[in-house]
């Protein structure tokens, strides 16, 4: 029997590898959370347990040089990931948006995709022990109809859900159509991350 793996989904895990910048970004995220009244109000109105700048600030790299330094790192990772995905692009992917997330203990982010972009990702700034993982969903799930569950020992490429556990400095990248969520954890401290989209 000949078996081929078809329609692969790429998922990248790498590290920022700049501890000084990571510490500076932690300070920058906290500064925003304390000062961004519109972001605080949006987070409360939408039941976000913590703070996000997602709907309030769209100029972080220009506003704060610490985010500008991060973008230079992310641009390299996004370009390499685009190559791994064999995207036929006339130019390198361009950063479209970047926002801060601070989840309080017990906070989650329900399943979603990132429309109008090609690469999405997250840099994990501070991940306390027990923080929730990133849950990735097989995109065929709505089409599986009467498919049986997968065995627990099935490889990742056959699982219905894959859980990716970040650490401080971890950068995850994926194609923007891939549905994902942040599951609840049992951490006692805030989980700080910076998410972004490339088009």
Q: Is residue 2 a part of any domain in this protein?
A: no
Q: How many helices (H) and strands (E) does the chain have?
A: 4, 10
Q: Is residue 5 a part of any domain in this protein?
A: no
pLDDT in tens, 26-67: 999 999 999 999 999 999 999 999 999 999 999 999 999 999
DSSP collapsed to 3 states, 147-175: CCCCCCCCCHHHCCEEEECCCCCEEEEEE
Phi/psi region, residue 78 (left: phi>0; alpha: psi -120 to 50; beta: rest), is: alpha
DSSP class of residue 169 equals: T
Q: Is residue 6 a part of any domain in this protein?
A: no
DSSP class of residue 29 equals: H
Q: Is residue 4 a part of any domain in this protein?
A: no
User: Are the C-beta atoms of 119 and 78 separated by less than 8 Å?
Assistant: yes
Q: Give the chain's radius of gyration (CA, Å).
A: 17
How far, in Å, are 3, 21, 125, 184 from residue 70 at the CA level? 42, 8, 11, 27
Q: Is residue 1 a part of any domain in this protein?
A: no
Domain that holds residue 164: 11-198
Q: Is residue 92 a part of any domain in this protein?
A: yes
Classified as helix, coil or strand, 4 is: coil
Cα gap 183→78, rounded to integer Å: 25
pTM: 0.96
CATH at residue 166: 2.60.120.620
Per-residue pLDDT of the chain (199 residues; tens, 9 = 90+): 999 999 999 999 999 999 999 999 999 999 999 999 999 999 999 999 999 999 999 999 999 999 999 999 999 999 999 999 999 999 999 999 999 999 999 999 999 999 999 999 999 999 999 999 999 999 998 888 888 999 999 999 999 999 999 999 999 999 999 999 999 999 999 999 999 999 9
Q: Is residue 3 a part of any domain in this protein?
A: no
Mean residue pLDDT across the chain: 96
Q: What is the tally of structural domains in the chain?
A: 1
Beta bridge partners of 39: none
Q: Is residue 128 a part of any domain in this protein?
A: yes
- ∠ CA 192-170-190 to the nearest 5 degrees? 20
Residues 6+ apart with CB under 8 A from 143: none
Total Cβ atoms within 10 A of residue 17: 10
């Amino acid at each position: 029997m000949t078996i081929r793996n078809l329609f692969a989904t790429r998922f990248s895990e790498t590290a920022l590898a700049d501890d000084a910048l990571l510490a500076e970004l932690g300070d920058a995220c906290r500064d925003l959370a304390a000062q961004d009244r519109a972001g605080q109000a949006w987070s409360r109105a939408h039941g976000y347990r913590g703070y996000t700048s997602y709907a309030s600030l769209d100029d972080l790299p220009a506003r704060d040089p610490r985010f500008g330094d991060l973008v230079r790192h992310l641009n390299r990772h996004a370009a390499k990931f685009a190559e791994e995905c064999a995207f036929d692009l006339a130019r390198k992917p361009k950063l479209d948006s970047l926002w801060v997330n601070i989840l309080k203990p017990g906070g989650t982010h329900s399943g979603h995709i990132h429309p109008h972009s090609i690469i999405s990702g997250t840099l994990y700034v501070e991940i306390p022990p027990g923080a929730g993982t990133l849950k990735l969903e097989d995109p065929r799930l709505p089409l599986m109809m009467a498919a049986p569950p997968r065995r627990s020992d099935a490889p990742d490429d056959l699982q219905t859900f894959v859980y990716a556990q970040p650490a401080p400095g971890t950068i995850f990248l994926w194609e923007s159509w891939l549905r994902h969520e942040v599951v609840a954890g049992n951490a006692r401290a805030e989980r700080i991350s910076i998410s972004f989209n490339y088009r």
